[in-house]
Amino acid sequence: MVISSLSHNTLHGQAATGQPPVPAAAETPAAPSSQTSAIGAQANTGNPVDASSIVTLSEDATMLAGANAVGLSVAVSVLSSPDDSNSRSSTSDPLSLVKSVAARAFQYINRPFDEATQQHVGVISQSAFENEVEHLGGSESSAAALFTDIDTSANGFISDSELYTALGNIQSAPDSATSQALMHLMDASGDGSVSTAEYQKVELGLTDTEVRSDNA
């Protein structure tokens, strides 16, 4: 059974349409659609983006973005039926099962966490971010532009909070330039829709580049 499970931080309680064209006689240009005005002729990635190339999230991927919006990282774990009686006994308790799933999920992701402050303290340098974006299939120019978009503090690093805010915004503002740039990066198949696996590959890939801020 494959399930989407929350990572380590779960245990810490963290829980287009355009205007109709004006007749030619009026000689008035048609108003831009809400999608094209949101995305713009340039998606801040060095590549033209228009309404016809908008990428969307699958239903499951939308749920993952929602989890990211509240600071939760997500991983997939495969749970097999326990063979021994002790395991059966422990997994009959819902809390034990949640802890088991979270523990397994945590091994798939590197997300620096400070136990004292109960905060995620990871940051991503520009070079590390750009290298990972290129590894995931993005271009050098799109990687640089995307870094600038996500680094809202403009301090030269993407904090864990900035990363997960950008990922969460994919759900709340899917037509924004930054969200579309991220979804184009995720859409490895090029079919215009981001699957759960495609979403998680980018989420985990970027998160795994984090290092503790005091080590950056």
The pLDDT, as a whole number, for residue 104 is 55
Number of domains in the chain: 1
The pLDDT, as a whole number, for residue 214 is 86
Q: Is residue 49 part of a domain?
A: yes
pTM over 0.75: no
Q: Is residue 21 part of a domain?
A: no
The pLDDT, as a whole number, for residue 147 is 98
Q: Is residue 32 part of a domain?
A: no
- Which among 69, 61, 44 has a CA at the least distance from the CA of 163? 69
Round to whole Å and give the CA distance between 204 and 133. Answer: 12
Q: Is residue 143 part of a domain?
A: yes
CB contact burial 84-96 (16+ within 10 A = b; e otherwise): eeeeeeeeeeeee
Q: Is residue 106 part of a domain?
A: yes
Q: Is residue 150 part of a domain?
A: yes
Residues of the chain below pLDDT 70: 1-52, 75-109
Provide the domain limits for residue 147. Answer: 2-15+41-215
Residue 123: its H or E element: strand 122-125
The pLDDT, as a whole number, for residue 101 is 53
Q: Is residue 137 part of a domain?
A: yes
Query: Mind listing the pLDDT tens digit for each residue in 170-180?
Result: 999 999 999 99
Round to whole Å and give the CA distance between 114 and 9. Answer: 10
Q: Is residue 30 part of a domain?
A: no
End-to-end CA distance of the chain: 39
The pLDDT, as a whole number, for residue 72 is 86
The pLDDT, as a whole number, for residue 215 is 80
